Structure 1
Amino acid sequence: MRSYLKFLSQLAENNSKEWMDANKKWYQDTRAEFLEDVEVFLKQLSELEPEFSTFKPKECVFRQNRDIRFSANKNPYKLNFGAYFSPGGKKSDGPGYYVQVQPGNSFFGGGIWMPPSDVLKKIRKEIDYSGAELEKIESESEFKKLFGEISGEKLKTSPRDYEADHPYIEYLKLKSFTVTRPISDKDVDSGNYINLAMEGFRKMKPFNDFLAQAIEDVEGGGDIL
């Protein structure tokens, strides 16, 4: 049984440096357990993306501390454990795979979240040329059953350079390109969430491949899922 949810539940009720200091060993033991799971993810993901075979778990896991400098919420710690897997690393502009464990809010997903303007322009150009391919990926029965629709914040009107009657205008309006699937607390506790997430990652690979092809010649750092 995983101890993530019990620890994170207590952290949610006691989100302070004092509590974390007093429970440092519990945090370290729980984080180490999560890192072991991330190592399993990397081993299986390397079958999809060979680059992952050289990654270390710590390179994929996010820090527990929150950046509170510009936030009204001054709680110092995140209430989840999260890991992001992208062939280009956590700061890559390329697509990736994400898993989060949190009481009542665990999920896995992938794609690109809020890419910078140059990357977004590349993706839109690819949709303009090859939107039928993205539509085919989204409409594939297993993908549709698992994720529903490709989601993300949308423009209210057509983006510049594209007409409102473009056949793929709803894709072109997107400012993020992501898919997600919730995970039950029961599956997190049992560890079955790894199998569920990996099944999802395999099904979303064509989606990530489409995004990667669109931006393969773009470099830099952006915000990603």
Structure 2
Amino acid sequence: MFSKATLGFLDELAANNERAWFEENKPRYEELVREPALEFIAAMAAPLAKFAPHFRAEPRKMGGSLMRVFRDTRFARDKSPYKTNIGIQLRHELGKDVHAPGFYLHIATNECFFGAGCWHPEADALGRIRDLIAAQPKRWLAARDDKKFSSHWALAGDSLTRPPRGYAADHAAIEDLKRKDFIGLAALSFSDATGPGLVKLASERFAAAAPLMKFLCEAQGVQY
């Protein structure tokens, strides 16, 4: 799957982030990035079906679990055309974009990690998560502090500085109600990211994120 050569290519891409270089080196991109990424996604289908049957591993070049290499530069100061990381999201079967509940793998030369949850959920989805936390704080805290989850995962992402409108400032879970992202991150070493046991490790880490994912799915009214 991924190798040290994969990381080397990503470094080269960062140093030569332009269309002419990419087109000239596209065969290497296919060999070192896209093919191992699709191999990883395909290998995740069977374990995913066991611990999260309503999530999908779709090994397609476009429109599947592998995120586009092309950056959206429309509103960005940085006009570099290509992403210099590998992003893979195993989304819920009802999710259509990166904001849906999902499991995530990030590989880059500065950091590798696993992710799980909802990143930048849209306003309605965010409201449903907050409402469920507000109504059932004990269940939320039990999921957040579950030993299997918290032994590998830590909540991350953006938060408001003040309590969101409509929620009590003295609520037992007010710090979590302030969250704009409901994602967990788990560490991944470079050696594990480029080693033969990545699928097994990813399966174990993602399965341990079940308490968070079940809560988020319930908030959205979908099956885990």
Q: Same fold (TM over 0.5)?
A: yes
The residue number in structure 2 matching 1:39 is 42
Contact (CA 8 Å) 1:108, 1:183: kept in 2 or not? yes
**Larger RCO: 1 or 2 (CA < 8 Å, sep 6+):** 1
Q: How does 1:12-27 map to 2 (within 5 A)?
A: 12-27=14-29
Question: Does 2:114 correspond to 1:108?
Answer: yes
Question: Does 2:220 correspond to 1:215?
Answer: yes
The residue number in structure 1 matching 2:125 is 119
Q: How does 1:1-225 map to 2 (within 5 A)?
A: 2=3, 3-30=5-32, 31-52=34-55, 55-58=57-60, 59-87=64-92, 88-91=94-97, 94-148=100-154, 150-216=155-221
Shift of 1:140: 2.1
Contact (CA 8 Å) 1:127, 1:172: kept in 2 or not? yes
Q: Percent identity?
A: 33
- Write the distance in 2 (CA, Å) between the matches of 1:151 and 1:34: 25
Shift of 1:56: 2.6
Q: Which runs of 5+ in 1 are unaligned?
A: 218-225
Q: Which runs of 5+ in 2 are unaligned?
A: none
Shift of 1:37: 0.8
- Write the distance in 2 (CA, Å) between the matches of 1:201 and 1:188: 15
Distance 1:102 1:191, change over 3 A: farther
Alignment deviations for residues 153-205 of structure 1 (CA, whole Å, 9 cap, x no partner): 11111111111111111111111101001211111221333322221100101
The residue number in structure 2 matching 1:221 is none
RMSD (CA atoms): 1.8
Output the amino acid matched with 2:193.
V
- Write the distance in 1 (CA, Å) between the matches of 2:110 and 2:99: 29
Contact (CA 8 Å) 1:15, 1:76: kept in 2 or not? yes
Q: How many residues align?
A: 215
Shift of 1:99: 0.5
Alignment deviations for residues 74-107 of structure 1 (CA, whole Å, 9 cap, x no partner): 1110011111111224427541100011112111
- Write the distance in 1 (CA, Å) between the matches of 2:147 and 2:18: 45
Distance 1:192 1:99, change over 3 A: same
